Copies of this chain bind each other. A is one copy, B any other.
Amino acid sequence: MTDVNTLGEFGLIDHLTQQFPIVQPSTKTGVGDDAAVIDNNGFWTVVSTDMLVEGIHFDLAYTPLRHLGYKAVVVNLSDIYAMNAQPRQITVSVAISSKYTVEAMEELYAGIRTACEVYGVDLVGGDTTSSPKGMTISVTAIGQGEKDRLSYRNGARVGDLICITGNLGAAYLGLQLLEREKRIWLEHPDVQPNLEEQQYIVGRHLKPEARRDIIEEFRKADLRPTSMIDISDGLASEIFHICKQSGVGALIEESGVPIHPDAQMMALQFKLDPITCALNGGEDYELLFTIDPKDTDKVRFLPDIYIAGEILEADEGIKLNSKGGKLHELKAQGWKHF
């Protein structure tokens, strides 16, 4: 018998799904991208799904249910935007143990509803059911895209520029802070945690946003990224996916990786290297994409987009050029939930 840990999260799903053939003519992309792509006579349907499990993906000791509902939706919408498509509908299924009250569920759904309003998507289906223990939330997002404008993970070409939106690592450091304050509170219940000064990084963890604005900028600038992925498991893991599926290598410049000053400060407090948090921390929900060098000027003047490297030949591997000028081999770590 083989422990599921031996394969890791990506390994396990790859292993389990590798023998599934594609038989439907309408299936354009199956397992292996941010979302599946289905041809509906011209308009293409993009479908993404995610499952969040209490005690694994969220801790209700410091996660308000309203934020949790919001985040559960946003992380799925992020996958749709990462295809350069527009989310239109979601389904939400929730399993809860009997310890949850109707009021608690109302809070959760209030957050789901706010996300629907903010991003203009419709809740069209789902399920609530009971669970022997804890809460599990499964969200499926359905979007539309134009056939010739979708961005996949496999389109990066040698010479393409690597771009990152927003900033990385803050959500991870927000989580570290919340975990630390929880430990302190458990030991000293009279000490009230003061998170006021760290609203930015805590907010990045508890209430992330998906980059709809960037997709809108692409449309206005008539720019189609050659490849794109959302950064849910850390930059190292995501560039690894792009390189593997595109059959290329990559060079990332440490100086090009955007990190928020509050994340910088908190990393130092935790005696962590900020770039390590940016590379291996998760849940930023920013976009990592590549562009043809001829589109450089289109990107250069767009807000909140940073050029962080270049696509290389596959045999050059995936490397980080540190601020000190040293080349490091990057390894995909991702989240290890098992």
Contacts and interface: CB of A to CB of B under 8 A. Distances in A.
A315 interface: no
Given A40-B45, A56-B131, A129-B53, A4 B98 contact: yes
A136 interface: yes
Interface string A89-117: 10101111010111101100100010010
Interface stretch (A31-39, A179-187, A245-253): A31-39
A280 interface: no
Query: How many A residues touch the partner, as a band?
Result: 35 or more
B9 A129 contact: yes
A284 to B, nearest CB: 19
Contact of A36 (B35, B40, B125): B125
B142 A96 contact: no
A28 to B, nearest CB: 9
A142 B142 CA distance: 10
Interface in A1-58: 1-7, 9, 12-13, 15-17, 19-24, 26-27, 29-31, 35-36, 38, 40-43, 45, 47-51, 53-57
A144 B41 CA distance: 11
A22 B90 CA distance: 11
A4 B96 contact: yes
A292 to B, nearest CB: 28
Contacts of A47: 89, 91, 124-125, 140, 142
A256 interface: no
A176 interface: no
A203 interface: no
A127 to B, nearest CB: 5
B98 A136 contact: no
B124 A29 contact: yes
Interface in A113-148: 113, 116, 120-134, 136, 138, 140, 142, 144
A40 B103 CA distance: 37
Contacts of A106: 16
Interface in A54-105: 54-57, 88-89, 91, 93-96, 98, 100-103, 105
Contacts of A19: 113
Interface of A: 1-7, 9, 12-13, 15-17, 19-24, 26-27, 29-31, 35-36, 38, 40-43, 45, 47-51, 53-57, 88-89, 91, 93-96, 98, 100-103, 105-106, 109, 113, 116, 120-134, 136, 138, 140, 142, 144, 337-338
Given A2-B103, A38-B88, A136-B138, 15 more contacts: A4-B102, A4-B130, A9-B129, A12-B128, A23-B122, A24-B120, A30-B122, A41-B42, A47-B125, A48-B125, A49-B91, A51-B129, A53-B131, A131-B134, A133-B134
